[in-house]
Structure formats: C-alpha cells, structure tokens
C-alpha cells in the first residue's frame, strides 16, 4: 500500500495507513511516521515491519508532540 501524504502548512506528514513502518528513500531512516518541511522533498516507502502496538499506546500526546516539533522546525519556538 502506498504511503499516505498529508500537508499542513509548511509541513508534510507521511505514514502507512496499514500500520507498517516507513523508510526515508534518501536517508534510509525507518519511522512509524514522519513530519518534514515540504521544502526537504523527502519521499518514503512502506516497509514490511509492523508498528509495535505497545509503542503506539505509549504516545497518548503524540499530536501535541508533533505540533511542538513543527513549531521548532519553523523557528516559532525558542527551545533553550
């Protein structure tokens, strides 16, 4: 199944809709999902490795963490 791509402002979110990890085709990094600046132009492919359900359950504030990461990437938050 192809990797899902969603755009939010200057950010792009990549993830598998079927619960598999994704691989950055440029760097080779493997992730559950990825948020990048659109200008980075990264592409991802789905791996055959399922996302560990226990890992997902340990991330209840995942959206808040992504929002904070986005602010840092965009220089909107001073992280001293």
- Distances, alpha carbon 32 to alpha carbons 7, 56, 71, in Å: 17, 9, 20
Given a contact cutoff of 8 angstroms between Cβ atoms, the answer to whether 79 and 49 are in contact is: no
Q: Provide the residue ranges of all domains of the chain, joining segments of one domain with +.
A: 3-73
Name the pTM for this structure: 0.66
pLDDT at 1 exceeding the cut of 80: no
Contacts of residue 16, Cβ cutoff 8 Å, sequence gap at least 6: 1, 3, 4, 22, 33, 46, 51
pLDDT at 61 exceeding the cut of 80: no
Write the pLDDT tens digit of every residue in 13-42: 999 999 999 999 999 999 999 999 999 999
Residue with the larger pLDDT of the pair 39 and 64: 39
């Amino acid at each position: 199944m192809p990797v899902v791509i969603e755009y939010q402002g200057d950010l792009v979110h990549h993830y598998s809709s079927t619960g598999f990890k994704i691989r950055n085709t440029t760097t080779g990094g493997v992730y559950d999902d990825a948020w990048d600046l659109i200008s980075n132009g990264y592409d991802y492919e789905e791996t055959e490795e399922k996302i560990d359900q226990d890992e997902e359950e340990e991330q209840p504030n995942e959206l808040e963490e992504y929002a904070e990461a986005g602010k840092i990437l965009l220089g909107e938050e001073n992280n001293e």
